[in-house]
Structure 1
Amino acid sequence: MNKTRLFKKSIIAVTIALASQQAVAAGFQLNAQSATGLGRAFAGDAVIADNASSMARNPATMALFDETAMSLGFVTITSMIEVKDATYTQSYLDATGQPMSSSSQSANYDDAGGTSVAPNLHLIVPVNDKFAWGLNAYTNFGTKTEFDSSYVAGEYGGSTDVKSFNLGLAGSYRINQQWSVGAGLDLVYGSGKFSRAMTTSGTKLVDIDADGWGLGFNLGTVYEMNENNRFGLAYHYSPELEADGDVNYAGYTGASGSINDTLLMPLPDILELSGYHRIEDTKFAVHYSVQWIGWSSFDKLEGKTSGTINTYEWQNGMHYSLGGTYYLNEDWTIRAGYMYDTSAQDEVTSISVPDSDRQWFSTGFTYHITPKSNIDFGFTYLLGDDVKVSESTTLPTGQTTPYPTYLNTNMEATTHADAILVGLQYSRTF
């Protein structure tokens, strides 16, 4: 393999793979379909059906509506990412891989997070007492992180801006008084912009601008014991996105231009079980969800031209959420919830992907403007854990005389990521 080819493969492996982790890591799966769900940590969201946003979690919940329903809102996600106890080491190696010189320095960083906005729109239209259809638009994945251009470990930090958009069409059918079923199609668009650079030399390693589409589907069912007790089960098949990307790099002697490739990025399937129980003769209801997320499907990142770019050892994730709703009066509904959310990453970690087990502390309310319209507010503080990170890479320096030399860099650090999510939503029936 010549030096230019090695350079290409090394840079793609280091930068595109890290950036793709950013797009699909469990820490950045967005539960942002509604402000209502946000206010209860999405506990019971596959069955509660208190507004049209429920169709995003379970299409069968559309059968619970006897009027046309619409919900429109957004959720803001502000991530707070800290890199601490960090040591960055550079070592120059000879052609045999033996170190010739090395140096180390602190690589702490206070806040690499950013703020993203995830809008959502949901519409449910009952046709008769058996059938309903619906349309929606929301996002399942997205994040924004940025390290300053002067950050010492620029090849591991850099900037990342990932967005996704899900367009859905679904239908539901009521089998009888207890059972309803639903199904839908999801057209998913994803885009990402990433940059990485060697801070010490000023060499810009890569700029990536990639986007693409995938087609998924969802299935669901609802079982109603009575008007106060029901269960929901939903399955979402997530597609493999094909993202066409331009990878531009400069500053390395003998290497210029760009790599054009199509990245294959599998997203995880999701299975969710929810329950809702309103306590008889009270104003209080309890609800819960257990969600399985198939992150092990992301075993590697591939390019149609480049082949296998990087491999992963990810594990499937789980969400466990419990919430309560208090129907205060005709004007106000108050809710709260707690979620424990497990990490997708196991041994493979990164400072640009501060994934960990997380706890969600959520609260929110609904204000009923009229019997047919309301405003929802939701707030969540997401608390992550400390994660030990060890990263390293080796790149050719471009020096060929008297022999080729290489630069090895290593990062040892602890990352911690928290987040604040705020949602606002307007809903009404017609």
Structure 2
Amino acid sequence: MSRTTLFHTSLTSAVVAFSSTPVFASGFALNTQSAEALGAATAGAPATQATPSNAYFNPASIVGVEGLESSLSVVGVINDTSFENANASLFGAVPVQGATSGEAVIGDAAFPTGATAFKISEHLFAGIAAYAPFGFNTEYDAASVVRYHGTFSQVVSGSLTPIVGIALNDGWSLAAGPRFQYIDVDIDGAIDAAGVEAALLMTASVPGTDDVFFDFSANDWGVGYTVGLQGDLTNNIHVGASFISKVEHDLEGQADFDLGTSAAGQNLEMTLGLFQDTSLSSNLTTPAIVQFGLIADVNPSTRLMASATQTRWASFDQLVTAFENPAQPPEVTTQNWDNVWAGALGVEYDISQSDTIRAGVMYEDDPVNPAFSTARVPGAKRVWFGAGYSRDLSDNAELHLAASYVYNDTGPVDQSVTLPENQFRGSLQADVNITGLLFAVGLDWKF
């Protein structure tokens, strides 16, 4: 592999790394889609019947509504994040200068979700659900030692799912629908133009002294599907299972390079054609998700709940990016993430005819392969603690409030210069600390 190709590999890795920063769910998946479910750390959510707000966890949740029912939740995330003990070097020998610690690595966020369902006949139901299934936002100072591995990363997604549900015999129901998913990506970072110039043009430039900053953005619509089943094993035990398919995205976008203050970057553009603004394309597959839920009625006012979720991140193995500029050939970047499980237990108690409280705990494993964990994706195992409250405001309206504390057992960032994609980005070691609070408010109403 030539030095020029190695540089292109490094650049391509920066393009596709947008999809590898953790949020408060498996990888960069978001399961904070319902205020009611968040209050129990999602325990039992796939088994809740006639509950449109939980259609993300199981589309069969729309079956059993009376007339027309809608649900809207707004979820807010407040993060307490930092990085420390960072050190980096270029070409295995030249230390990267810059800040070695910083705050507010992962940004705060707020997003709405919701669903509407209506009864067509005694056995036929229809609805539509809108969610934000994937996303993240991370930022490092442009003067930090992390800059060659990313300065800003953001993914925003949304999905629309029309659902058709059927009430079967003996308390069982089935529902399915297509899933139309949109993803928008924006990532920034720095490239060691001085080091690239010294390696490719044999100049006396000192690595780490002249940077080119870039901004890559891309978006796409993709199509998948979801299907779910619910039923009563006994009069007191209710179960549910659902499947969300993977969605393949063919991202199209633009790469912009800032050469205004980089003499090395200008020289490389003139001599080799690098760093020219150009269109780009990349492939991203979001994972399939399998969800199971159980609700056991202990007595008329108390319910025990459990859930298990597998997120099939093994499909997130390689990302191929191509630039329209012929000087930047297509490359492949390896992720090799793993399929992972999450499990939740919860309890729900009716303190009156109008008021319900709930609580739950969830554990999530980390899908990130340690060999490819970067500053954009400091892999983390997570423990959620949730509490919630619901109140019937009237015969037609119900309010849900929820809060959750998330503790992340974050693994260290350890990028080796021996990886081909780090030939020009260099090595990086750092510790990233992540904790967060989630708040949600939801309103269900019947027309």
Letter in 1 for 2:15: I
Does 2:383 correspond to 1:359?
A: yes
* Unmatched segments (≥5 aa) in structure 2: 193-207, 260-264, 270-274, 324-328
Alignment of 1:209-358 (within 5 A): 209-251=217-259, 252=265, 253-255=267-269, 256-280=275-299, 282-303=300-321, 306-347=329-370, 348-358=372-382
Question: What corresponds to 2:109 in structure 1?
Answer: 116
Question: What residue in structure 2 maps to residue 412 of structure 1?
Answer: 429
Q: Specify which structure has the higher proportion of strand.
A: 1
**What is the rounded CA distance, in whole Å, between the counterparts of 1:6 and 1:310 in structure 2?**
12
CA distance in 2, matches of 1:202, 1:158: 16
Which residue does 2:165 correspond to in 1?
172
Deviation at 1:187, TM superposition (A): 0.2
Q: CA deviation at 1:261?
A: 2.2
Q: Structure 1: state its 5+ residue gaps.
A: 93-98, 397-405
Letter aligned with residue 45 of structure 1: A
Q: 1:61 corresponds to which residue? A: 61
Provide the rounded CA distance (Å) in 1 between the counterparts of 2:177 and 2:446.
22
Q: CA deviation at 1:304?
A: 5.2
Give the count of matched residue pairs: 412
Alpha-carbon distance change, 23 to 263 in structure 1, aligned in 2, over 3 angstroms: farther
Structure 2 length-normalised TM? 0.86
TM-score (norm 1): 0.89
**Structure 2 Cα separation of the partners of residues 6 and 358 of structure 1:** 35
Equivalent position of 1:95 in the other structure: none
- Equivalent residues in 2 for 1:16-27 (5 A)? 16-22=15-21, 26-27=26-27
Distance 2:96 2:135 in 1: 36
Deviations 1:249-301 (A, max 9, x none): 24312323223222110111011110011212x41111111111100100011
Question: Partner residue of 2:262?
Answer: none
Conservation of the 8 A alpha-carbon contact between 1:81 and 1:354: no
Kept after mapping to 2: 8 A contact 1:26/1:355: no
Amino acid in structure 1 at the alignment position of 2:124: F
Structure 1 contact 355–417 (Cα < 8 Å) conserved = no
How many Å apart are 1:179 and its aligned residue? 1.9
CA RMSD of superposed structures (Å) = 2.5
Relative to structure 1, is the Cα distance of residues 407 and 389 closer, same or farther in structure 2, using a 3 angstrom cutoff?
Answer: same
Shift of 1:156: 1.7
The within-5 A match list for 1:387-426 is: 387-393=411-417, 409-426=426-443
Whole-Å separation in 2 of the counterparts to 1:408 and 1:383: 31
Corresponding residue for residue 400 of structure 1: none
Change (3 A) 1:395 1:272: closer
SS in structure 2 of the partner of residue 64 of structure 1? coil
Do the aligned residues in 2 keep the contact of 1:300 with 1:312 (CA within 8 Å)?
yes
Q: Larger deviation: 290-299 or 221-230?
A: 221-230
> Tell me, what secondary structure is at the counterpart of 1:43?
coil
